[in-house]
């Protein structure tokens, strides 16, 4: 059957499909992009760092030659070997669960998803390793069956080779479909190239997804499960060109980060704002901050309640105020504490001890706290811990927003000590600090409000000022989703920095 005999996907009706089964290819069909390189690159960078990504980039031209002149299977096998050889299976699963969904979800084809979402049963057929696509497809899109290439393993590590019947392309997709469903004939088959024809011919209806024209991706609000938590250092999808630019920028960016961190740590705080500006870091201040407390009158300090974007929030708060504001922290690395230009005091998670410590710090002056307890990259606020509301009525909400174009300055799976470096390695990082009105006395615990009511109110106020959604998710929810644990910090020797968990 020729490709031209299949109508395009826009001709497929999505009405009355509630009991139907749909089978689809992934790259170029479910996803707008036809290349799987960016997703291999994400795994390579996250599990092997710069050298693994460089190796993958160097062998990509070979993979392309094999793809076009030998076979699609041979080209994909090269990418699989370069990405997975010697990597622990648990690390691949971790990246597939915590990093890839954010990038996959931003590339969904609207017409394909319209049809897929209308059907009760969904099956994917893909040449990509099943281990890297299954978490996203099942957990976020509700696919029932994922049939992909199976990677070979030995003693918990990937060998870089694949199991029989090999890379799932062409007729092998049709064979896998027959093996999975026997004589059951799916109602709809979706593909985007001639190698998808064999499995599409097994379906009652077949539709092609054209490469042209370009279409806008499905927006996050239309997904069955929105992406709230995600990990990984790279902000942009690493196409071959972007991966090359990232590798070339890394030494320059690291040197620039060291300069920026040194300026913040060594210069007097009133000068840091101007030093950051000269070094390409933009700090925007909105609202009217309160004046510093007058110790001569016994005035206690103000507690700044900040939304939490990176561990640098209190430093940029201090930069905006032009004076150092101490901050209470949890699970910040020793390196970050050492280079911090402000005083940091660790919370113990012992409620009575922490309350006494915070009260003592407020007697000495202003203090900053991030009651979410952990960072969130997306436009959501996590649940605010209510302890702060019981300790003082002098509460000033502060809405923090940052901008990173190349690297994320947070991690759930990696070493927290690199967080400030990655943030400052961005070409033009930026922070916006908005001081909101001080909480009226009638809305504090001193006037009879419960601490939970106060915390929830401040969460809503900050969320409204940022146009964010407020949620009931907590630190434990984030770490269970991204790292498979509850976020409890276990100090490790510096020889094992990649195992230190943080906020």
In the three-class reduction of DSSP (H, G, I as helix; E, B as strand; rest coil), residue 482 is classed as helix
pLDDT of residue 243: 97
How far apart CA 202 and CA 28 sit, in angstroms, is: 20
Helix residue spans in 322-469 (DSSP H): 334-339, 351-364, 419-424, 451-466
Q: Is the pTM of this model over 0.95?
A: no
pLDDT of residue 494: 34
Question: Which of 279-283's residues contact partners 24+ apart within 8 Å by CB, and which partners?
Answer: 280/256, 280/427, 280/428, 280/429, 281/424, 281/428, 281/429, 281/430, 281/431, 282/428, 282/429, 282/430, 282/431, 283/316, 283/319, 283/320, 283/430, 283/431, 283/432, 283/433
Average pLDDT along the chain, 503 residues, taken 10 residues at a time:
72 92 95 95 96 97 92 94 96 96 95 94 96 96 95 96 94 94 93 92 94 86 90 96 97 97 94 96 95 74 95 96 92 83 86 90 93 93 94 95 96 91 97 96 93 96 96 91 67 36 37
Domains of the chain and CATH, by start = 3-9+17-222 (3.40.50.1000), 240-499 (no CATH)
How far apart CA 295 and CA 172 sit, in angstroms, is: 77
Provide the pairing of β-strand 21-25 with 188-191.
Answer: parallel
Cβ pair 236, 107 in contact under 8 A? no
Q: How far is CA 402 from the centre of its chain?
A: 15
pLDDT of residue 486: 62
pLDDT of residue 351: 86
How far apart CA 468 and CA 380 sit, in angstroms, is: 5
pLDDT of residue 3: 45
């Amino acid at each position: 059957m020729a490709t031209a005999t299949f109508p395009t996907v826009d001709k497929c009706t999505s009405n009355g499909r509630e009991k139907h089964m749909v089978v689809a290819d992934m790259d170029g069909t479910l996803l707008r992009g036809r290349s799987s390189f960016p997703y291999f690159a994400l795994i390579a960078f996250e599990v092997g760092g710069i050298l693994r990504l460089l190796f993958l980039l160097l062998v990509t031209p070979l993979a392309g030659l094999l793809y076009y002149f030998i076979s699609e299977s041979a080209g994909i096998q090269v990418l699989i070997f370069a990405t997975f050889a010697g990597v622990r299976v648990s690390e691949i699963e971790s990246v597939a669960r915590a990093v890839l969904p954010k990038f996959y979800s931003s590339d969904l084809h609207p017409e394909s998803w319209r049809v897929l979402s209308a059907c009760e049963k969904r099956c994917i057929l893909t040449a990509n390793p099943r281990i890297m696509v299954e978490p996203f497809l099942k957990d976020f899109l509700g696919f029932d069956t994922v049939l992909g290439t199976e990677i070979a393993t030995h003693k918990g590590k990937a060998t870089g080779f694949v199991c029989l019947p090999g890379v799932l392309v062409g007729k092998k997709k049709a064979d896998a479909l027959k093996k999975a469903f026997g004589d059951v004939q799916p109602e709809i088959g979706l593909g985007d190239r001639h190698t998808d024809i064999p499995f599409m011919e097994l379906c009652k209806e077949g539709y092609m997804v054209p490469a042209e024209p370009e279409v806008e991706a499905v927006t996050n609000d239309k997904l069955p499960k929105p992406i709230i938590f995600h990990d990984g250092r790279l902000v942009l999808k690493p196409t071959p060109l972007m991966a090359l630019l990232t590798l070339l920028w890394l030494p320059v960016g690291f040197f620039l980060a060291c300069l920026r961190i040194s300026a913040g740590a060594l210069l007097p705080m009133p000068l840091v704002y101007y030093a950051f500006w000269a070094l390409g870091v933009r700090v925007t201040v909105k609202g009217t901050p309160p004046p510093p407390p007058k110790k001569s009158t016994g005035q206690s300090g103000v507690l700044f309640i900040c939304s939490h974007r990176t561990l640098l929030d209190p430093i940029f708060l201090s930069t905006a105020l032009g004076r150092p504001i101490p901050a209470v922290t949890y699970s910040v690395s020793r390196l970050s504490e050492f280079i911090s230009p402000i005083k940091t005091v660790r919370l113990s998670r012992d409620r009575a001890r922490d309350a006494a410590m915070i009260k003592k710090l407020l007697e000495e002056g202003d203090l900053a706290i991030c009651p979410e307890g952990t960072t969130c990259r997306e436009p959501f606020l996590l649940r605010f811990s209510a302890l702060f509301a019981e300790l003082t009525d002098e509460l000033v909400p502060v809405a923090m927003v940052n901008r990173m174009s190349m690297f994320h300055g947070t991690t759930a799976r990696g070493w927290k000590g690199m967080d400030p470096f990655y943030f400052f390695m961005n070409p033009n990082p930026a922070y916006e600090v908005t001081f909101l009105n001080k909480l009226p006395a009638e809305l504090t615990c001193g006037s009879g409000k419960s601490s939970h009511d106060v915390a929830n109110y401040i969460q809503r106020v900050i969320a409204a000022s940022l146009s964010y959604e407020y949620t009931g998710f907590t630190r434990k929810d984030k770490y269970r989703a991204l790292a498979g644990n509850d976020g409890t910090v276990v100090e490790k020797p510096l020889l094992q920095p990649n195992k230190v968990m943080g906020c």
